[in-house]
Amino acid sequence: MKFIKPYLFAVTTLLAVSCTSQKETASLKDAYKNDFYIGTALSADQIEVKKVKEDSLIRKEFNAITAENIMKSMYTHPEKDKYDFALSDKFVAYGEKNKMFIHGHTLIWHSQLAPWMEKIADSTEMKAFMQDHINTIVSKYKGKINSWDVVNEALNEDGTLRQSVFLKTLGEKYLVDAFKLAAKADPKAELYYNDYNIEEPAKRVGAIALIKKIKAEGGKVDGVGIQGHWRLNSPSIEEIEKSILEYSALGVKVAFTELDITVLPNPWDLKGAEISQKFEGSAKMNPYPKALPDSIQNKLAERYASIFKLFLKHKDKISRVTFWGVHDGQSWLNDWPIKGRTNYPLPFDKDLRHKKAYDSLLKLKETKE
């Protein structure tokens, strides 16, 4: 007895210590290292390492990065003859230093364009713009940026082509042109078509036709990026699974590029991520200004677990899963589609603590292997 007591004490202490330290040292990127990259979207402050605690969390948990805003054309190409690469250089250096997979977002997109680009009115000018824009940016980061969203959000909800400034000036040809220009500037970079709601049936048909057409016309498309700005109850796991299967049947990789799950009411049952849509706020639309109730916290954890269970089932088809932001405090969903709400869409809360959603993602791997 005399000996057993201290022995038991030592063993339980050791167990307790090793359990805590396992929790402390476990990370998403390690848990999923044999499956797909686990990415995050970085704000300008995060790229510039303004907050040390946030930075260690990023380096611990993620092995792929996307710039949330600073590589969009209004920032990189503010005037016709002026590029600004100050922040994108820092972004790329950050990824290289930390040996992360670096994704470029985005080359051709109708939103967050510099004002001068919106005024381009004819095909000659637009052709010259695309050539200069894609060639300059992709060549600059040749061999450094691993993959690109070459075209972002070219489709309407019904699967037809969006009447963007690119379509208006060049017609459908702009799509294959963009992919050809990017492949020429960096033949080894992986080239993606990226969009929201392309797991929905009608838009998916449009995306499949678009990818087939680009390929048929000699463009190189390596992957499709499903943004994944989702809700607690939709889209269904079945539709997501159908999408993974149908896209990978085209011979392209599937990435989930901007994953977040809103827990707030959506005006008019809004789906998607059209960033120009804005609505008035009200208390009813912002039900959890102080904290997320346990019941919803649990729902979020279950939703993330079922989504990742599906991702693991199809890990051979999935290249990367990127969350749209590091923590809840940073999420664009606090301001879109209604300004000034408090949303909880990510695995980390605003104080950088891991939520039940995070634990459920790690648990999925513990029970699986």
Where along the sequence are the contacts to ligand XIL (CB under 6 A)? 68-69, 152, 227, 258, 273, 275, 332
> Taking the complex as a whole, how short is the minimal distance between the CB of residue 44 and ligand XIL, in angstroms?
10
Distance CA 126, CA 108 (A): 11
Decide: 65 and 38 in contact? Cβ < 8 Å: no
Torsion over CA of 352, 357, 362 and 365, rounded to 10 degrees? Answer: -160
User: In sequence order, which residues have a C-beta less than 8 Å from that of residue 216 and are 6 or more positions away?
Assistant: none
> Taking the complex as a whole, how short is the minimal distance between the CB of residue 331 and ligand XIL, in angstroms?
8
> Taking the complex as a whole, how short is the minimal distance between the CB of residue 134 and ligand XIL, in angstroms?
17
User: In sequence order, which residues have a C-beta less than 8 Å from that of residue 305 and are 6 or more positions away?
Assistant: 360, 361, 363, 364
Of the two residues 147 and 227, which places its CB atom closer to ligand XIL in the complex?
A: 227
> Taking the complex as a whole, how short is the minimal distance between the CB of residue 43 and ligand XIL, in angstroms?
8
Largest CA distance in the chain: 91
CA atoms within 13 A on the CB side of 79: 2
Give residue 247's identity as a one-letter amino acid code. Answer: Y
Of the two residues 331 and 360, which places its CB atom closer to ligand XIL in the complex?
A: 331
Active-site residue set: 258
Decide: 202 and 157 in contact? Cβ < 8 Å: yes
> Taking the complex as a whole, how short is the minimal distance between the CB of residue 239 and ligand XIL, in angstroms?
19
Residue whose beta carbon is closest to ligand XIL: 332
Of the two residues 101 and 332, which places its CB atom closer to ligand XIL in the complex?
A: 332
Of the two residues 154 and 214, which places its CB atom closer to ligand XIL in the complex?
A: 154
Helical spans, DSSP H, in the chain: 4-25, 28-31, 44-47, 52-61, 73-76, 86-97, 115-118, 123-140, 165-170, 173-185, 201-216, 237-248, 294-313, 356-368
> Taking the complex as a whole, how short is the minimal distance between the CB of residue 367 and ligand XIL, in angstroms?
33
Of the two residues 114 and 275, which places its CB atom closer to ligand XIL in the complex?
A: 275
Of the two residues 262 and 360, which places its CB atom closer to ligand XIL in the complex?
A: 262
Distance CA 226, CA 244 (A): 9
Query: Taking Cα atoms as reference points, which of 232, 278, 67 lies closest to residue 152?
Result: 67
Contacts 24+ apart (CB under 8 A), 178-181: 178/107, 178/108, 178/130, 178/134, 178/150, 178/151, 178/219, 179/150, 179/151, 179/214, 179/219, 179/220, 179/221, 180/218, 180/219, 180/220, 181/130, 181/131, 181/134, 181/135, 181/138
Give residue 241's identity as a one-letter amino acid code. Answer: E
Of the two residues 104 and 362, which places its CB atom closer to ligand XIL in the complex?
A: 104
> Taking the complex as a whole, how short is the minimal distance between the CB of residue 327 and ligand XIL, in angstroms?
13
> Taking the complex as a whole, how short is the minimal distance between the CB of residue 66 and ligand XIL, in angstroms?
9
CA 228, 234, 240, 243 torsion: positive or negative? negative
Q: Residue 267, preceding bond cis, omega within 30 degrees?
A: no
Of the two residues 32 and 332, which places its CB atom closer to ligand XIL in the complex?
A: 332
